[in-house]
Chain A
Amino acid sequence: MSSEEIFDLIIVGGGAAGLTAGIYSSRAHLSTLILNEGAIGGQMVLTDEIANYPGVEKTNGYLLASIMKNQAKQFGCKIKSNLKIQAYYLEEKIKRVVLEDGREFRSRSVILSPGGRPRPLQIPGEEQYKGSGISYCATCDGEFFTGKELIVVGGGNSALEEAVALTTYAKKVTIVHQFDHFQAFQHAVNQAKMNPKIEFIMESELRSFHGNSVLQEVSMEHLPSGLITTKKIDGVFIFAGYIPNTADLEKTIALNQRKEIIVDSDMKTNIPGVFAAGDCIAKKYRQVTTAVADGTIASLSAVEHLRS
């Protein structure tokens, strides 16, 4: 089942980078289609408060994403979301993106902006106890654990900041981290260390979750010794970083060791007519503003490519 239309540009991903690219390309009169696997807005909608987006004093990720989506649509950009992409055929002049349901979309150029997603632990019991003791959002679910004992997994800024936030509800929070030091900024580490409700288990990883209808216990491994222990627990919050959504692109496009897409300063990939933008590319800083910049550059490069 193939769409008759050949778009000028297909954008894969509807986060800040993809929506910005959609705004620019549609405004430049390119027929543009955004194919988005999750909810429109990507990681942006996971942010409760955005106070550093220039020109907007304070907003939340959902509102900002909604405005970007409406802007793109107003310029004529088509958006299809909550779908699953099965395959990419990007080498030919006419590029093809095939969905799991058999639909196929074609275009003269492609911008890849599939973003990233929270890294799951992928250990036994994780899916079973999601929502019944395992959570990925302290703001959403913290109050369900009032007076309870929690584990927070991770060592980055999110993990430490959310651990501190969870002490508002929990009687005790134990941070479990795989290394002997944290990756978070020093001020976040200090905040956590100063909090009397927070304890630390370093150089350890969770191995499995156990319980009945709700989570009751975890098993964890002390990495240097290999010793496995169990711990009674009411809830586990997982903030183990993000991974780029590039698994389906591995055989198609040049990625670095961290599975991020390699681009040049014009957001060009190793394939002519294929560009990339946002959290999926190899870069140091990941912010809404940097994604917006990437999307702008990728879109202008696509316009230039199509007109050359």
Chain B
Amino acid sequence: MKMLHTNVHEIETAAELEKLITENDNVMVCLGRMGPMCIPVYDVMEELEEEREDVKFAVMSFDSPEAGIIRNHEACRGFMGLPFTMYYKKGKVVHATSSIQNMQQVTSILDAQFSVSNVENA
């Protein structure tokens, strides 16, 4: 059952997440609730979805039992602020952030981790 009222695609199971990061090179997933620190990040993702065709965007409910795949990930150790935002490249976590992020912060992470020059150099 979908828990997050956003226009960004919502993943409901760990299997769905696995499929998404396996089938797509660049993926950003935001794990959160409908709270004040999470909603602005969903809004940024919705906005970026129109311009960043190289990245797949998805959200997942923090309270879903299936979300343990992100909640318990090593990259989230020490995280104490929602949302947890994960950046996957070719199925691997390349960056993770905790708490609210603005457009500039998200964009600079996308540029740093998923830019064309980054791919060429990889």
Distance A139 CA – B81 CA, assembled complex (angstroms): 11
Residue of A nearest to B36 (CB): A46
Interface size classification for chain B: 20 to 34
B13 at the interface (CB under 8 A from A): no
- Chain A residues positioned under 8 Å from B47 (CB to CB): 81-82
In the complex, number of A-B residue pairs with CB atoms less than 8 Å apart? 84
Would you list which residues of chain A between 20 and 42 have a CB under 8 Å from chain B? Answer: 38-41
Q: Looking at the complex, which one of A45, A140, A214 makes contact with B82 (CB distance below 8 Å)?
A: A140
Once the chains bind, are A38 and B102 in contact (CB under 8 Å)? yes
Given the interface pairs A81-B47, A84-B104, A214-B78, the reply to whether A135 lies near B99 with Cβ below 8 Å is yes
Q: Looking at the complex, which one of A63, A82, A130, A235 makes contact with B43 (CB distance below 8 Å)?
A: A82
- Chain B residues positioned under 8 Å from A47 (CB to CB): 36
A217 at the interface (CB under 8 A from B): no
Kindly supply a per-residue 1/0 record for chain A positions 53-86, scoring 1 wherever the CB is within 8 Å of any chain B CB and 0 otherwise: 0000000111100100000000000000111100
A48 at the interface (CB under 8 A from B): yes
- Chain A residues positioned under 8 Å from B98 (CB to CB): 130-132
B95 at the interface (CB under 8 A from A): no
Once the chains bind, are A144 and B44 in contact (CB under 8 Å)? no
Q: Looking at the complex, which one of B33, B43, B81 makes contact with A132 (CB distance below 8 Å)?
A: B81
Distance A151 CA – B104 CA, assembled complex (angstroms): 29
Interface centre among A39, A135, A137 (most CB of B within 10 A): A39
- Chain B residues positioned under 8 Å from A66 (CB to CB): 5
Residue of A nearest to B97 (CB): A131
- Chain B residues positioned under 8 Å from A130 (CB to CB): 81, 98-100
Distance A130 CA – B43 CA, assembled complex (angstroms): 20
Can you identify 24 A-B contacts, CB atoms within 8 angstroms? A39-B43, A41-B39, A45-B39, A46-B36, A47-B36, A48-B36, A62-B5, A66-B5, A81-B47, A82-B43, A130-B98, A130-B100, A131-B79, A131-B80, A132-B78, A132-B79, A133-B80, A136-B100, A137-B82, A140-B33, A140-B82, A141-B37, A213-B77, A235-B80
A contact residues vs B (CB 8 Å cutoff): 38-41, 45-48, 60-63, 66, 81-84, 130-137, 139-141, 144-145, 213-214, 235
